[in-house]
Amino acid sequence: MKIVVIGAGAMGALFGGYLSQNNEVCLIDTDAEKVDKINKEGITIIGKEEQKTFFPKAFLDASQVGKADLLILFVKALFSKQALEKSKSVIGEDTYVLTLQNGSGHEDILKQFVRRDRIIIGTTQHNASITERGCINHGGRGCTNIGLLAAQNNVLDSIKDSFESCGFDMHISEDIEKLIWDKLFTNVSASVLTGVLQVKLGYLIDNSHGLFLVERLVKEAVAVANGDGMDFDEQEVLEKVKQVLINAHEGYTSIYADLRDKRKTEVDTISGYVVRASRRNGVPAPSHEFIVELVHALEDK
């Protein structure tokens, strides 16, 4: 399978590196130093028990890449449209586009570049951070869920087989709306708090005050999701989030890095999604409204 990954940040490099074991993988990124280092030295992924180097191809633009069977979008949501516009040449009639980005609502942008029946929504429990250009710390692993925005077909089976042959635990979801909500719960609780508090994920399971905040945000988000008719079990969701904190104990998040490095975050497609749903269905979400404003205040510093 020919896979094009747009965005060679921590998660793009992680997936691109592993998937290059059994696929033709091309990474596209605007950082010339990073692209040069990947092409010369590969991507080194440091896990809890092993360290491996992989050699996908890397490019500054899409002009030399050709059509992709699968395009994976790993840029920040605020750059999605710009990145897809610059990479239109890799999208053919038979290309599927998969988003594994944080937050929700990405399909609205994807539909401007590819037919609805070619859009795959995904969520992953893998966690990664960049230690230096071309070197990735694989802080935690878990299941990756994918589902088609339109009616299901057997393409997901072949993608699942390809990913699993490279070491990923994959699950195909037939309820895309529930998947969209399910992918939010960790991000709108634990992830956003690691950014505000500037801590690793494990801090939130080890510290009683941190865990209280996680639980408050999870419970509120579940109530809003159920206001959309999702029928989530609050305790099951909370236990799942706690397990992510345990499994990725030493992991950092992208929103942590963004606030640390004084960059704009994706909070409007993460916690902001809960706020918009709250206003639509009438289920209160005051904690999430507070978090969105708090993160923007931190950005403005």
Low-confidence ranges of the chain (pLDDT < 50): none
Cα dihedral 62→66→68→73 (10° resolution): 0
Task: Determine whether 183 is an active site residue.
Answer: yes
pLDDT tens-digit readout, 91-110: 999 999 999 988 777 888 99
Task: Write down all domains in the chain, each with its CATH number in brackets.
Answer: 2-176 (3.40.50.720), 183-300 (1.10.1040.10)
Q: What is the pLDDT of residue 289?
A: 98
pLDDT tens-digit readout, 248-287: 898 889 899 999 999 999 999 899 999 999 999 999 999 9
Cα dihedral 287→74→86→3 (10° resolution): -150
Q: What is the pLDDT of residue 102?
A: 80
Give, in degrees to the nearest 5, the angle at Cα 1 between 10 and 147.
70
Give, in degrees to the nearest 5, the angle at Cα 223 between 222 and 226.
85
* Per annotation, catalytic residue among 183, 262, 264, 301: 183
Q: What is the pLDDT of residue 187?
A: 92
Q: What is the pLDDT of residue 78?
A: 84
